[in-house]
Structure 1
């Protein structure tokens, strides 16, 4: 490790600890998040760099910070590093360590946001400050194209106070020709392969409104209890088998896996894939989500008093759609799943965000490939379709290539990595922080440096 690499890694670790301790927890309500805390942290971090940036605050304390380093050549492509600063809530009792303590134990940093995605936001800030201070690899450096650093709010609840708001109201601040964001970097197979998110599934959230007949809880037999009807609706939509689709991204991922040929054939066969899922262990959930439009009933509400049979219930569905799936398809899946229960259920909502994907034949993708090979000789990028949502979709839908990129140590297979997202005991090893910030530094210097 060079002195400069050690410095970048140390700065990233220290900043990440502070970001975790800021507790910018977004529970989906406008009054949560408090991302202004991290904006103030970052403003302090950039003091003396010559970068002041712009702070936007669409809602009280729901703030984002955007910095731009202007390049020397207005015709050169620009690059944006987009990292969110909010995190999802925790169930503290389930954690082995304080989720906001940012403790380092045996070379591993624990805390909510350690991989989603405060690690990258911290690394983006460290690299941006180094560029602003005019040095790279110990030599004077000026980028040819603009470098944008965006620390944005509200990604964990749809980005209405973050990138969505910026796209609709201040696109000038965050616009760029290419974008890096979350959430690649985990090992794939043994070649070795490094996952890079080139796209993501779309979303079509819906609410099921269930109507029964209220009554006294002392005589439940024969009652049309909305809670009971809702329970059956939840069971049906959760179990509904949407079509299995072998996408090009799933095919590329399977080809990179270290599995026997017979298993590979089953994983690429729509008729046999589901039966093969248990063999994948921690990867099974990702494999299923990569090949299916998923319907997850995550919030259920019914009843107000213990002795009153509820006449109404509500089920909130998280629906993630594959490429090519339409709003009509989603409606059809729900109607088929509910069957005769539709007599008691109204499907509400019309949100529809299509799946998005970026091409791999771009100059930035070539630089990303070079960066992973420097980090792990012989490594190849494996293009993946993310099964969750990121801020990258707002760029891709405008035709701007956006990639989820990082470089994690070989201890991280994607199944393990993915399970920590929004889960308990979220953590990252210090080696991965070093690999990622070093790779990002190389990517920025190479992509925005002198014409290759």
Structure 2
């Protein structure tokens, strides 16, 4: 296998060493190295500093670059906010161009909530510990391992394989995939792609993400009459009106909208036929949700538009009755939901309070979806079946990922992975952004094995 060898303070170089299980070991060691770079993205433009992990990838890919088969580019959207694009060109211009979209940044941690160093990249009892292990450095490492293997192969592939290891996914991608698509569109020009948010087990099925909800942020503005807080008579505090709106939002909820993916989820996850029937009925689905245990939150999220109040503001000084209050809403939409639909939904939810509320639009994006009838999805299905002996189920992600940018460009993109048995959706969600985040070696090996089969089928 290969491993890191010291070559000076703070520096590592990739060199071959003897051993077995080379590809799996390569991916594990690369994962550990990426965790140690601690590219924490807290939303500030100067955070992330993904250039550190880009340098790790450059050293890892150097043997393939030396052959002339692998082309790499490092592109910085701002100082230190770097993405790496690596490309193996094929012999047939009509063959697929497969993109492997991974991100390099990770979310912040609360060190007090961790049993081990969140940036130690420790390998303990068959598990790699560290922030980003699940989201999504294990896949980024697998992607890099496979593209290096392809570049070092004796023959050139028929199609093209492209690694997009990007910055800033955790804060929306403005310094990563969005910037690349806008400023360097040729770098993201692929015919199909795989990324994160797949591989968890839904019953005996393996979940592959084909869609993700959109975001339609709104700010609700309510107004009152200011006054001195010591003489409240005659004033009308905006704080009370904020409370009235919040109460209304808590009492009135959007109705379920059960689509094609909902039925596939129920079929895969629910064994009880009576419960399954109740879940397929929009009238009874909400009453049935409590019977789903840990997956009820996911089921609730993907079966409707959700409205979540997140930031409240009213007043700035303790002795002044505030004239203006605001409520920021995180609204997650289903495919096909327009901005007008969201505003109409809000008006319906607010009911008699709607006339007293100004609705302002915040940042958002449409829900996206790729058809599960594309050739790439079929290749994923075959690979998962061969490696794990399991069927797949197409699912919708409740959150967002960089894959939506490719879908917006008309590129079919799927959330991939093949986690070990026991990795239910609930366990996966606990690992993403949670304390003591870690991934087992078996899951890395399974994902790598399935990925190699997909690459072999799609690009040769």
Residue by residue over 1:333-359, the C-alpha shift from the partner in whole angstroms, topping out at 9 and shown as x without a partner, is 222333444465321116553222112
Q: Secondary structure at the match of 1:56?
A: strand
My pick for the range that moved more, 391-400 or 204-213, is 204-213
Instruction: Give the conservation status (yes or no) of the 8 Å contact 1:197–1:384.
Output: yes
Deviation at 1:96, TM superposition (A): 3.7
**C-alpha distance 305-258 of structure 1, shift in aligned 2 (>3 A):** same
**Aligned-partner Cα distance in 2 for 1:357–1:112:** 28
- Aligned to 2:64, the other structure's residue is in SS state coil
TM-score relative to the length of structure 1: 0.90
Contact 2:83 2:165 in 1 (8 A): yes
The size of the alignment, in residue pairs, is: 439
| Residues 416 and 219 of structure 1, relative CA distance in 2, 3 Å threshold | farther
Structure 2 CA distance for aligned equivalents of residues 101 and 220 of structure 1: 56
Q: Deviations over 1:160-197 (max 9, x none)?
A: 221122222211112111100011001111xx211001
Matches within 5 A, 1:115-130: 115-130=134-149
When residues 53 and 279 of structure 1 are mapped into structure 2, their CA distance, relative to the original with a 3 A threshold, is same
CA, structure 1 residues 231+118, in 2 after alignment: closer, same or farther (shift >3 Å)? farther
Equivalent-residue separation in structure 2 for 1:345 and 1:405 (angstroms): 42
Contact persistence 1:238–1:297 (CA under 8 A): no
CA distance in 2, matches of 1:9, 1:235: 53
Q: Secondary structure at the match of 2:396?
A: strand
Counterparts of 1:219 and 1:420 in 2: how far apart (Å)?
51
**What residue is the counterpart of 1:288 in the other structure?**
300
Query: Does the 8 Å CA contact 1:6/1:434 hold for their aligned counterparts?
Result: no
Unaligned 5+ segments in structure 1 are: 135-139
Which residue among 155, 170, 174 is the counterpart of 1:160? 174
Shifted more, 101-110 versus 56-65: the winner is 101-110
Distance 1:216 1:167, change over 3 A: same
CA RMSD of aligned residues (A): 2.3
Q: Which runs of structure 2 are paired with 1:95-244 in the superposition (5 Å)?
A: 95-134=114-153, 140-189=154-203, 192-217=204-229, 224-244=236-256
- Equivalent runs, 1:224-373 vs 2, <5 Å: 224-342=236-354, 345-349=357-361, 351-373=363-385
| CA–CA distance in structure 2, aligned partners of residues 272 and 438 of structure 1 | 41
Change (3 A) 1:22 1:294: same
Instruction: State the SS of the aligned residue for 2:350.
Output: helix
- Which of 111, 122, 145 lines up with 1:92 in the alignment? 111
User: CA, structure 1 residues 29+225, in 2 after alignment: closer, same or farther (shift >3 Å)?
Assistant: farther
Query: In structure 2, which of residues 16, 22, 31 is the aligned counterpart of residue 16 of structure 1?
Result: 31
Say which is worse superposed, 14-23 or 409-418, in terms of deviation.
14-23
Query: How much has 1:52 moved relative to structure 2?
Result: 5.0
Q: Which whole-Å CA distance do the structure 1 matches of 2:362 and 2:296 have between them?
A: 30
Kept after mapping to 1: 8 A contact 2:219/2:359: yes
* SS of alignment partner, residue 317 of structure 1: strand
Equivalent in the alignment of 2:448: 437
- Once the two structures are TM-superposed, the CA of residue 117 in structure 1 deviates from its matched residue by 1.2
Aligned to 2:95: 76
Cα offsets for 1:284-335 (capped at 9, x unmatched): 0110111011112223334434444444343322211112222122112222
CA-CA distance at 1:154 after TM superposition: 1.6
Unmatched tracts of structure 2, length 5 or more = 1-17
**Pair 207,18 (structure 1): closer, same or farther in 2 beyond 3 Å:** farther
* Structure 1 range deviating more: 306-315 or 58-67: 306-315
User: What is aligned with 1:6?
Assistant: 21
Q: C-alpha distance in 2, partners of 1:251/1:45? A: 43
Mean CA deviation greater in 304-313 or 198-207: 304-313
1:141 positional shift: 4.0
